[in-house]
Chain A
């Protein structure tokens, strides 16, 4: 594994503070975790990774590189074949998923694998209700979560009457309402239009601003570069590269990225050619391009 640059552990992108009663985020450590599925497929090989409380981390890699398998270890859905997963130094091996759900909220990639209620509000209430939240506190959480993803007006709608992108936002809201100190998002921007990506970006920014740990799997390199402080690159079940976006998307790392079948985001490529670094702002890029003309 190559560690690039320095990662500002605990630092967060600027974002508005979101009122919520979230517990302090735990540190997460994967201690040489390996995992093989029952059919023998080896999905993770000796993954060693530490995520500090409040970090925002994007996990990238080609399909089948082990990203989803990795995040499913964080809330106990999968248990390592060898190695340990530690939350605040404690091995989670013997802790029930239902209990870990209060610490680590995981929004799945496919919303249709979880939506079941007849009303949007009931769907969002499902998670916090399972955590024991009732009454006005529950209503407040549902309302806030729906507002956060722009679905406040749809509280009474049947989830299956929403389009795919909004069902995906609903699935995200249902996890946000649990107000877990760790938020894990599996490909949150897939299937979203620009407005949806903007909403997801705001959710990440706000959660990180609140001191929550945010971990996201994504193939959207621009979203990754703009929204996360640290990028972890996986290939064939291993972490092959990690560091801040400006290092991971920097020109020196492109061969390693391409070996993992990833392309650096266009701003990083243009920024490198124009001498603006790997994560230039849109304004700086446009200014440089206009000046070049």
Chain B
């Protein structure tokens, strides 16, 4: 049996098709789920939208076995969540139900409620994106998009954008190591760390730009823009019920948002 780490080294077209309740879904179905989660989390008023998304995402993550790996993604939303909480709680316009007064600051119940709702929306969306990223190999998504005649250039743009994230993280780590080796203090005071930003950012940025140029030329050299259809080496399973679910989810989520905005149904 091939071990998981060995399998990761294999080319995409010989890797096993993912199995399991959630992972085995077609990448397009998982992409639709992530898009619907965003629509519902931000489009449906009140607590209901984000709460439903959160429950569905956490349940799916449990089924897919990635719940613990989603923790860093949740942590990544912290800066945004903190600013939402502070701004809304203390500066919510036209709110007069003051909780307490701290000098010039007067947090309000209305502001705090809005802040918590917005937080729930951000976290729900962040976790749904994390679930998608953790359960869908980029190659599978790109292959699926190409199979559906989404242009190669479009697939390349999506793939490059997604693939650039881990590469940039690796590059940034090495840049930090190289500059620390030349005596740059990244462990000292805030001002010293701030001063060190240029030596850190410039090589990452220049490197990324150079890489884009090199990758483009390498693709051209391998007939990326050659006309004609390509052979798909890795056909991922899809089914009639998944197609139906995708359309149902999209139409249903848009309808839910419309109903919510129109105020036709009173949701908590």
Stretch at the interface among B26-34, B39-47, B138-146, B178-186: B178-186
Cα A116 to Cα B203 with chains together (Å): 5
The answer to whether B207 touches A97 (Cβ under 8 A) is no
What is the CA–CA distance of A97 and B186 in the complex, to the nearest angstrom?
9
Report how far A127 CA is from B179 CA in the complex, Å.
8
Chain B residue with Cβ nearest A102 = B183
Q: How far is the CA of A219 from the CA of B106 in the complex (A)?
A: 67
Query: Is A77 interfacial (CB 8 A cutoff)?
Result: yes
Q: Which of B90-98, B115-123, B169-177 contacts A (4 or more CB under 8 A)?
A: B169-177
In the assembled complex, B202 has its CB within 8 A of some CB on chain A? yes
Q: Chain A, 111-142, contact with B by CB distance < 8 Å: what is the 0/1 string?
A: 01111100000000011001100000000000
Asked if A54 is an interface residue, CB under 8 A from chain B, the answer is: no
Would B184 and A130 count as touching, CB distance under 8 A? yes
Q: Report which of B183, B198, B201 forms a contact with A98, defined as CB distance below 8 A.
A: B183
B188 touching A77, Cβ below 8 Å? no
Q: Which residues of chain A are within 8 angstroms of B207 by Cβ–Cβ distance?
A: 112-113
Q: Mark A166-185, 1 if CB is under 8 A from B, else 0.
A: 00000000110010000000
In the assembled complex, which residues on chain A have CB atoms less than 8 Å from the CB atom of B163?
none
CA separation between A181 and B178, bound complex, in Å? Answer: 18
Against A, the Cβ 8 Å flags (1 = close, 0 = not) of B83-116 are: 0000000000000000000000000000000000
Residues of B within 8 A of A101 (CB): 180-183
The yes or no answer to B206 lying at the interface (CB within 8 A) is yes
- A110–B186 Cα gap in the complex (Å)? 21
A93, CB-defined interface residue at 8 Å: no
A101 to B178, CA, bound (A): 10
Tally A-B pairs: CB < 8 A. Answer: 73
A102 to chain B, nearest CB (A): 7
- CB–CB B187/A75 < 8 A: no
- A98-B187, A160-B206 in contact; A113/B174 too (CB < 8 A)? yes
Q: A110-B174, A113-B174, A116-B198 are in contact. Are A98 and B185 (CB under 8 A)?
A: yes
Closest CB-CB distance, A236 to chain B, in whole Å?
16
A105 contacts B174, CB within 8 Å? no
Cβ contact of A130, chosen from B171, B175, B185, cutoff 8 A: B185
> In the bound complex, how far is the Cα of B178 from the Cα of A110, in angstroms?
9
Interface centre among B171, B185, B210 (most CB of A within 10 A): B185
Q: Which residue of A lies closest to B179 (CB)?
A: A114
Let me know if A114 and B178 touch, CB within 8 A.
yes
**Could you tell me which residues of chain B, from 192 to 212, have a CB within 8 Å of some CB in chain A?**
198-203, 206-207, 210
A178 to B181, CA, bound (A): 10
A77–B206 CB distance below 8 A: no
Q: Within the assembled complex, what's the spacing in Å between the Cα atoms of A178 and B180?
A: 13
A77 to B178, CA, bound (A): 9
Chain B residues with Cβ below 8 Å from A96 are 185, 187
Residues of A within 8 A of B203 (CB): 112-116
Minimum Cβ distance to chain A for residue B211 (Å)? 9
Q: How far is the CB of A15 from chain B (nearest CB, A)?
A: 24
Cα–Cα distance between A288 and B175 once the two chains are bound (Å): 49
Determine if A72 is an interface residue (Cβ-Cβ < 8 Å): yes
Note all chain A residues with C-beta closer than 8 A to B184: 98, 126, 130
Check: A228 CB closer than 8 A to any chain B CB: no
CB-contacts of B15-64 with A (<8 A): none
Query: In the complex, what distance in Å separates the CA atom of A102 from the CA atom of B174?
Result: 19
A contact set with B: CB distance below 8 Å: 72, 75, 77, 96-98, 101-102, 105-106, 108, 110, 112-116, 126-127, 130-131, 160, 174-175, 178
Contacts A97-B181, A98-B185 aside, 5 further interface pairs with beta carbons under 8 A come to: A114-B179, A116-B198, A116-B202, A175-B182, A178-B182
For this complex, 8 residue pairs linking A to B, each with C-beta atoms less than 8 Å apart, are A77-B180, A97-B181, A101-B183, A112-B206, A112-B210, A116-B203, A175-B182, A178-B183
